Amino acid sequence: MEIPYIVNPRKDTGLINSKIAIWLFLASEVMLFGGFFSAYVYLRMGADYPWPERTLPVLPGLINTFILIGSSVTVVFAWVALKLGNWRQFQVYMAITVACAAIFMVLKGIEYNVKFHHQAARLNDYTVVEGHLGYEKDSEGEYSLDRHGKKIEENMIRVVAEKLTFSVKRFHAPWVNEMLSEAKRNGSEIKLAADIKAITEEGGKEEPLAKAGDPLSLELLEKIKQTQIEALEHNAALRTDALRLEWKEAKEANPGKRGWQLASDVNIDMEALKPRLLSEVSSVEFTVDPPTLLLFKPRDIKESPTSSRLRDDTVIDGAMGASPMVFHNLDAIDFQWLVMKAKEKGISPEAAIADSWLMKKSEFVREAWAWHLARNEKRQAELTKDYGFKEDGKTPKRTLTHKELYRLGWKDLGEMGVEKQQVKISGFDKIKEEFKGPNYEARGEKTFPHISIPREEIRHAAKFTPAWNTYYAIYFTITGLHGLHVIGGALVLLYYLVFGRKMFLSNPEWFANRVEVGGLFWHFVDLVWIFAFPIFYLM
């Protein structure tokens, strides 16, 4: 059995199978990316926050565009070489194509990496600050490391734990281990607060499961969990049987009555059942002696001044310490959102900015803002000079954008540093900044100062990841998916490059068809990027 039309096209359709298939596949890809781009339009139209326009550095995106376009040409040339029967040339062009894909992904990786390490925070008054966080240090000035050996950012919730109450069913083992090692390092012990007694056999007596003072260990928790599960299963079965019996009796006693009319009177006789039940221990309490400092990531904990709760239902009693978010380098101050909110309420932007927490607390911000206002005046004057006024003779034809008016980005702060503090920066460092973001070392703390923001002032904080806002969410999703397509396409092309020789020798026409189909996919990937680049980088 042989499938026809693999090499030679069918007469009436004029097509080989794989060509139909790849175009069908591309049609579905149009709908896939179409879904995402429609989502982009929808999210942008409906955004209730200042959409970050033209926010990404253009240079890496531009280079990537060139690279992809170039690879599109080389893949076509590779196919042409095959058509001409020139294997060597095919190899060269295909190798360039795959190399282009690799460079594209490396650049993309650098871009992503910069964003993953760049922190943003939205304060309660909708001021946005951006920058780089510092790292936790211990009492001797050394960086503290977490259990993966990584430095811990100064963005942790600090609780001086006195008492830990674990949910027997849900405790998360890695977190328990973390608490144990933290306590050990701080020289304190976590001990069971009170004896745990339980009935573990039907009709049996209460027997001790663990004694007060037993140290916390995963084995202990597991053991209690096991008895708890057994008790739950046993009791549930008993209760179910009892309820069934009650219903049977109720129905016999009240023939013709509907279930919902009887329901309120049918209850399990718990008193009768009690002697047969096993005891359910749903939580265990441990004391920490002496109380010790534990650090938690903000997303894992619901903090409160006296009693916090982890996501696995562990309750931590103890005072919450000051848990500020510490920007070692503040590199942007953004009042766009605050102004937007102020306008909705009918407050003037200037008053709202002057009233913001950041302006009140930071000398640097006040200074920078004054510099910014002066510069804006100059910029507006230039615009008015170049483009003149509208017909009424008063309003300028062109005015500064919302973003220019209310945002001080890292480039602006850098400019201010050069102007006011005489910070010197080399040309190479400047180009590096286009790829890797603000250069803190070269520009120093005078340009990008240190600022500590108390936890209660923060409304939302995230790295520049999908969690920061819907713009970054859709940016990462579309470019990430596009990146996966690049990798997939490159792997296919690489396969042709490395293992194609045999196919080429045995059936050159078939091989050329396959390369053409692979090439079609590659062009489509390019096509998506042609739209993604202006939409994300330039609009």
Partner 1 sequence: MSAHAASHDGHDHSHDDHHHDPGFIKKYIFSTDHKWIGLQYGITAMLFLAFGFYLMMVMRWSIAYPHEPLPEWMSWIFTDNWKARWLQDGKVTGETYNMFGAMHGTIMVFLGIVPLGFGAFGNYVTPLQIGAVDMAFPKLNMVSYWVYLVGGLIMCASFFMESGAAKSGWTNYSPLAGFADGQIVNQWLAGQTQWLIGLVCLITSSLLGSVNFITTIINLRARGMTWMRLPFFVWAMLVTGFLLLLAFPPLEAAGIMQLMDRVGHSSFFMPSGLFTKSEGLADLSGGGSPLLFQHLFWFLGHPEVYVLLLPAIACVAEIIPVNTRKPLWGYKSMVYSLLILGFLSFIVWAHHMYMTGMGAAVSTFFQTTTVLISIPSVIIITAMLISLWGGSIRFTPPMLWACAFIPMFGIGGLTGLPLAFNLVGLHLHDTYYVIGHFHYVVAPGILFGLFAGVYHWYPKITGRYMSVFLSHVHFWPSLICMNIIFFPMLTQGMAGFHRRWYNGGDAYLDKATAATADGANVFANTVAQNIDLNIVMSYGAWILAIAQIPFIINLFFSWKTGRKVESDNPWNATTLEWATPTPPGHGNFTFDVAIYRGPYEYSRPDCDKDYYPQWEAPKDRQQASADESADKGHH
Partner 2 sequence: MADSIEAIHKAKKTYLLVFGALLVGTILTVLVATVPALDIGGHGFDIYDAILGLIIATTKSTLVAAIFMHLNHEKKLIYYVFFGAIFFFFAMGALFALSESSPIWDYNFYK
Sheet holding 283-296, edge to edge: 189-192, 283-296, 157-167, 315-317, 307-310, 301-302
Nearer to partner 2, 302 or 397 (CB): 397
User: The tokens of 136 are what?
Assistant: 């936790």
> Judging by DSSP bridges, how do beta strands 325-334 and 189-192 pair with one another?
unpaired
Residue among 6, 8, 13, 302 that touches partner 2 (CB under 8 A): 13
Residue among 17, 49, 70, 460 that touches partner 2 (CB under 8 A): 70
Question: Rounded to an integer, what distance in angstroms lies between the CA atom of residue 199 and that of residue 209?
Answer: 9
Does 232 contact partner 1 by CB under 8 A? yes
Residues 6+ apart with CB under 8 A from 382: none
Q: From the list partner 2, partner 1, none, which binds 119 (C-beta under 5 to 8 Å, kind-based)?
A: none
Q: From the list partner 2, partner 1, none, which binds 83 (C-beta under 5 to 8 Å, kind-based)?
A: partner 2
Nearer to partner 2, 70 or 444 (CB): 70
Amino acid identity of 277? L
Question: Which secondary structure element, helix H or strand E, spans residue 434, and what is its range?
Answer: helix 427-436
Residue among 4, 141, 149, 256 that touches partner 1 (CB under 8 A): 4
Nearer to partner 2, 15 or 110 (CB): 15
Long-range contacts at 90-96 (CB < 8 A, ≥ 24 apart): 90/500, 90/504, 90/515, 91/497, 94/493, 94/496, 94/497, 94/515, 95/497, 96/70, 96/71
Does 34 contact partner 1 by CB under 8 A? yes
- Residues 104-133 interacting with partner 1 (rule: CB under 8 A): 122
- Residues 265-304 interacting with partner 1 (rule: CB under 8 A): 266, 268, 298-300, 302
Contact between 520 and 23 (Cβ < 8 Å): yes
Tell the burial category of 230 from Cβ atoms under 10 Å away from its Cβ (0-12, 13-18, 19+): middle
Residue among 93, 369, 410, 524 that touches partner 2 (CB under 8 A): 524
- Report the alpha-carbon angle 452-458-463, nearest 5: 80
Does 218 contact partner 2 by CB under 8 A? no
Residues 6+ apart with CB under 8 A from 269: 242, 246
User: The tokens of 491 are what?
Assistant: 């792997």
- Residues 73-92 interacting with partner 2 (rule: CB under 8 A): 73, 76-77, 80, 83-84
Residue 119: closest CA among 107, 129, 127? 129
Residue among 6, 8, 38, 269 that touches partner 2 (CB under 8 A): 38
- Residues 335-354 interacting with partner 2 (rule: CB under 8 A): 344
Nearer to partner 2, 76 or 218 (CB): 76
Does 31 contact partner 2 by CB under 8 A? yes
DSSP three-state, residue 391: coil
Does 10 contact partner 2 by CB under 8 A? no
Does 454 contact partner 1 by CB under 8 A? no
Question: Can you spell out the DSSP letters for 132-185?
Answer: EE-B-B-TTSPBPB-TTSPBPBS--EEEEEEEEEEETTT--HHHHHHHHHHHHH
Nearer to partner 2, 51 or 440 (CB): 51
Site map for partner 1, 411-450, x if CB under 8 A? ----------------------------------------
Using only the alpha carbons of the chain, give its radius of gyration: 33
Question: Rounded to an integer, what distance in angstroms lies between the CA atom of residue 129 and that of residue 123?
Answer: 8
Q: From the list partner 2, partner 1, none, which binds 76 (C-beta under 5 to 8 Å, kind-based)?
A: partner 2
Does 36 contact partner 1 by CB under 8 A? yes
Please report how close the Cβ of residue 519 comes to partner 2 at its closest, in angstroms. 8
Nearer to partner 2, 30 or 105 (CB): 30
Q: Which stretch binds partner 2 (CB under 8 A): 40-48, 110-118, 146-154, 479-487?
A: 40-48
Question: Rounded to an integer, what distance in angstroms lies between the CA atom of residue 180 and that of residue 464?
Answer: 32
User: The tokens of 224 are what?
Assistant: 């209690």
Residues forming the site for partner 2 (CB under 8 A): 13-15, 19-20, 23-24, 26-28, 30-31, 34-35, 37-39, 41-42, 45-46, 53-54, 58, 62, 65-66, 69-70, 72-73, 76-77, 80, 83-84, 344, 383, 387, 398-401, 403-404, 519-520, 523-524, 526-527, 530-531, 533-535, 538-539
